[in-house]
Amino acid sequence: MQLLCHGLSASNDIHELFPYTEFVISFPQYISAFFLYKGQGKVKGSCFLSFSLEMATEDQQIVMESQPQQRAELNVDESDVGVVYYIMAGISFIFIILFFPFSLLYTIKIVTEYERAVILRLGRLSSRKAKGPGLFFVIPCTDTVNKVDLRTISLDIPPQEILTKDSVTVRVDAVVFYRVYNPTMSILNVENVNSATYFVAQTTLRNVLGTKKLSELLTDRDAIGDEMQQILDEATDPWGVKVERVEIKDVSLPQQLQRAMAAEAEASREARAKVISAEGEQNASRVLRDAANIMDESPASLQLRYLQTLNTIAAYNNHTYVFPLPVDLMMKLVSGVTANNQQGGGGDQK
């Protein structure tokens, strides 16, 4: 329940603390402030605030939230807070006993294995160590429970228009993986740890990629991700956040630049193909030249090559091939036959 308060005490101290004519406080806050300033002698009589029991709207939020110096005045000694705490705790226990067992729904809280609970008691941190996992007991009127998820969260950064170091506009899409390692710091040091991490990651992405060239964005994504991870980890460490990894998912180039790069790549591939083809022809001509030199030095090798070709062709069935016999080969065959005949005739005469 919240109270919509109208009017203030005539005390100057109270007017300095609450300089507005209308604000919203909860009932425990009203009781705590009353006993606090009553004990310090800043409230005359029994009147602290005149209030009406009205439901507070969202636009009527307490103005004290934007007054850090005034909030500091409420950080009283432990003895003062102890008195208020015991009073509120006693009232809470009375209600717990009166409405038992229905009061157990408000006094027993459960957090899962991947969660922790940070408890603020009368606005102050009740324990440096977060509660959980499992069951724990709270006092309904004095304790505020804030649950924190300890699992790794993937934060998708929407595509960002970034101007690179060499004046090229690109769209970069990235994702950040982080987790909360200190639940207490994530509650006390930042209002919303998820949105704060998102905005820091967004600005870091722009700042880091603005110092890189287009070629580095396309080839050194891992190094850029590691650099961003270190910067984000240092920025979010006071919030109890550990940035585990940063990945660049996509780098989108303008259509004209894509066509120009495609044409350049195609021309480069054609040039390499021509060079490879020329090198192949050069090697083939070198081999043919060596073969020609060998055949020129040994004419018999040419004849053997010719006969080998005839043997290969004759291997196919049902075909008839007619080849002219080379003159030089025919002359050598005829001279060989004549020599054999002469040797045979001389032997017969003897």
Give start and end residues of each alpha helix (H) in the chain. 12-17, 27-39, 68-73, 78-98, 104-107, 183-188, 193-209, 214-219, 221-236, 255-297, 299-314, 327-349
**3-class state of residue 23 by DSSP:** strand
Question: How confident is the model at residue 143, as a pLDDT?
Answer: 83
Whether 105 maps to a domain, the answer reads yes
Task: Please report the DSSP string for 222-239 in residue order.
Answer: HHHHHHHHHHHHHHHGGG
Whether 300 maps to a domain, the answer reads no
Tell whether 158 and 248 lie within a shared domain.
yes
Question: How confident is the model at residue 51, as a pLDDT?
Answer: 36
Q: 311 is written with which tokens?
A: 């043997």
Question: 136 is in which domain, residue-wise?
Answer: 101-149
Weakly modelled stretches of the chain, pLDDT under 50: 1-28, 35-80, 348-350
Whether 292 maps to a domain, the answer reads no
What is the pTM (predicted TM-score) of this model? Answer: 0.53
Question: How confident is the model at residue 276, as a pLDDT?
Answer: 87
The total number of structural domains that make up the chain: 3
Q: 296 is written with which tokens?
A: 């020129």
Tell whether 157 and 194 lie within a shared domain.
yes
- The CATH number of whichever domain residue 204 belongs to comes to 3.30.479.30
Whether 121 maps to a domain, the answer reads yes
Whether 10 maps to a domain, the answer reads yes
Question: How confident is the model at residue 326, as a pLDDT?
Answer: 60
Tell whether 157 and 118 lie within a shared domain.
no
Question: How confident is the model at residue 182, as a pLDDT?
Answer: 94
Q: Out of 237, 253, 269, pick the residue that ends a domain.
A: 253
Tell whether 243 and 174 lie within a shared domain.
yes
Q: How far apart are CA 305 and CA 294, in angstroms?
A: 12
Tell whether 158 and 240 lie within a shared domain.
yes
Tell whether 67 and 113 lie within a shared domain.
no
Nearby residues of 238 by Cβ (< 8 Å), 6 or more positions away: 185, 189
Tell whether 138 and 120 lie within a shared domain.
yes
Tell whether 160 and 236 lie within a shared domain.
yes
Q: 257 is written with which tokens?
A: 């630049």
From the list 53, 56, 45, the residue with the least C-alpha distance to 10 is 45
Nearby residues of 284 by Cβ (< 8 Å), 6 or more positions away: none
**Do 196 and 190 form a contact (C-beta atoms < 8 A)?**
yes
Tell whether 129 and 177 lie within a shared domain.
no
